[in-house]
Chain A
Amino acid sequence: MNRDAPACVEMRERLLEADPAELLGEGDSTVALHVAGCAACTAAARRVLRSQQELADALSQLSDRAAPAPGARVVSVGSAASAESAVRPARGARRSLLRVMPPLAAAAVLVLFLLQQRAADELPRLEPVPEPTAYAPDMPVVNATDGSDVAVMQTTNPNITVVWFLKRERQ
């Protein structure tokens, strides 16, 4: 099946919402079954997975940088608020994360949008071209042209075929 098929066009949109397992063609959902049987959509699903992974990695790195270092206390231990503060990011860090998340979310949306645009712009995947097969009949194959009647006659010589024109060609 190629991506020009209506099923593939619809499937490209559903790939963006699919679970990773479905993107891998695992399971018996409609998306998974289609991905498992369509080379073009398999490639598209892999691109989505790869992009999701790259985004997840980038977000993870950014979260690590924004969170307090292990062992570091933001406020002094002993106050009523300290226990809660110790397990939550400090207000400054939360504000920073709040500032970071919108652009990252926008980035994620934009990446998915661009990936979708790329999928829409792509030409059909070039499927393996079948080997040109040689058409070699055992005996001559005659196609009489218009205005002629022919008799094709075999002879005892298997290498000779006689084509006899029964009606004179028109001028």
Chain B
Amino acid sequence: MMRRLPKTGAMLVIATFTACDPGPEPRTFPLGHMSPENARLLIEPYVPGGGENIRMSDQPPALTVAASAERLEQIEEMLSRFDVAAPDLRLRFQLIEADGFTGVDPAIADVEAALRELFRFSGYRLVSESMITAAQYSNSNQSLLGSGGLPLHLSLRVGRISSAADRSSAELEVTLAASDRQILNTRVVVPGGQIVVLGTARPFEDRGALILVVRPEIQ
């Protein structure tokens, strides 16, 4: 029996080490909302071996990660926090031209009342309207017609859309341009329920002030 003890010592080493390190095991995490690439970027620094132990699938969207059980549980927790549905964002844009109008348009009554507090334009007219439904971290482009059929280009870049309890907001970059010039460009974080009125006086020599009303609905 004693001759077998040295072997027992070696086995003890193996057994002890094996007990400490059960080794990596693969686990697949289906993704409901995040892209596999974004999810990989998120978790890669925490996976031993990095990208070598992560596989992505686009259809269905999923990540397969090989790591220790403890690490896999932590990754699962992380993904469950970030892989969540972003609120829906619907944006209503109204293009308004100022000056030279006397009538009252009920579609812009609330904005017109606010503008009359600040400016002395004789009147405001709704020229065109547009609706965009956008996702978080997306870009959208639309054509609008200005007065006299002037073609305008509306470009929208949506950043993060947040919604928690009774508060929400959307990060937007809005650009309004004609074929030969940029008229308006700004980045703005708009809380849900707020209306942002972007305007500029006389972007063209032969036209009045141009106003773009941004009405986000975050659901």
Nearest 3 CB-CB pairs, A to B?
A: A134-B162, A103-B9, A136-B167
Q: 22 A-B residue contacts at CB 8 Å?
A: A47-B20, A55-B12, A96-B5, A99-B6, A107-B13, A121-B48, A123-B48, A126-B75, A133-B164, A135-B160, A136-B192, A140-B188, A141-B189, A143-B188, A145-B186, A148-B185, A148-B186, A160-B197, A161-B195, A161-B196, A163-B198, A168-B200
Known: A58-B12, A171-B180. A99 touches B185 (CB 8 A): no
Give the residue of A62, A134, A163 whose beta carbon is less than 8 angstroms from that of B164: A134
- B-contacting 9-mer, from A12-20, A29-37, A75-83, A150-158: A150-158
How far is B20's CA from A53's CA once the two chains are assembled, in angstroms?
13
Report A-chain residues with C-beta under 8 Å of the C-beta of B203: 168
Give the residue of B2, B16, B200 whose beta carbon is less than 8 angstroms from that of A54: B16
Interface status of A7 (Cβ within 8 A of chain B)? no
Interface status of A88 (Cβ within 8 A of chain B)? no
Interface status of B34 (Cβ within 8 A of chain A)? no
Expressed in whole angstroms, the minimum distance between the Cβ of A5 and any Cβ of chain B is 16
Question: How many chain-B residues does the 8 Å CB contact rule pick out?
Answer: 62
Interface status of B113 (Cβ within 8 A of chain A)? yes
Report B-chain residues with C-beta under 8 Å of the C-beta of A47: 20
Give the residue of A96, A118, A157, A164 whose beta carbon is less than 8 angstroms from that of B20: A118
Q: Are A129 and B81 in contact (CB under 8 A)?
A: yes
Consensus secondary structure, chain A interface:
mixed
Question: How many chain-A residues does the 8 Å CB contact rule pick out?
Answer: 60
Expressed in whole angstroms, the minimum distance between the Cβ of B19 and any Cβ of chain A is 7
Q: Are A157 and B181 in contact (CB under 8 A)?
A: no
Q: Are B17 and A104 in contact (CB under 8 A)?
A: no
Report B-chain residues with C-beta under 8 Å of the C-beta of A171: 180-182
Q: Are A140 and B189 in contact (CB under 8 A)?
A: yes
Give the residue of B16, B117, B187 whose beta carbon is less than 8 angstroms from that of A155: B117
Report B-chain residues with C-beta under 8 Å of the C-beta of A115: 20
Expressed in whole angstroms, the minimum distance between the Cβ of B154 and any Cβ of chain A is 15
Q: Are B187 and A159 in contact (CB under 8 A)?
A: no
Q: Are B6 and A129 in contact (CB under 8 A)?
A: no
Report B-chain residues with C-beta under 8 Å of the C-beta of A58: 12, 16
Q: Are A155 and B118 in contact (CB under 8 A)?
A: yes
Report B-chain residues with C-beta under 8 Å of the C-beta of A143: 186-188
Within 8 A of A (CB), among B94-130: 110-111, 113-115, 117-118
How far is B2's CA from A104's CA once the two chains are assembled, in angstroms?
13
Q: Are A103 and B5 in contact (CB under 8 A)?
A: yes
How far is B16's CA from A54's CA once the two chains are assembled, in angstroms?
7
Q: Are B184 and A169 in contact (CB under 8 A)?
A: yes
Interface status of A64 (Cβ within 8 A of chain B)? no
Known: A107-B12, A135-B169, A164-B200. A142 touches B187 (CB 8 A): yes
Interface status of B199 (Cβ within 8 A of chain A)? yes
Expressed in whole angstroms, the minimum distance between the Cβ of B108 and any Cβ of chain A is 11
Q: Are A160 and B111 in contact (CB under 8 A)?
A: yes
Interface status of B71 (Cβ within 8 A of chain A)? yes
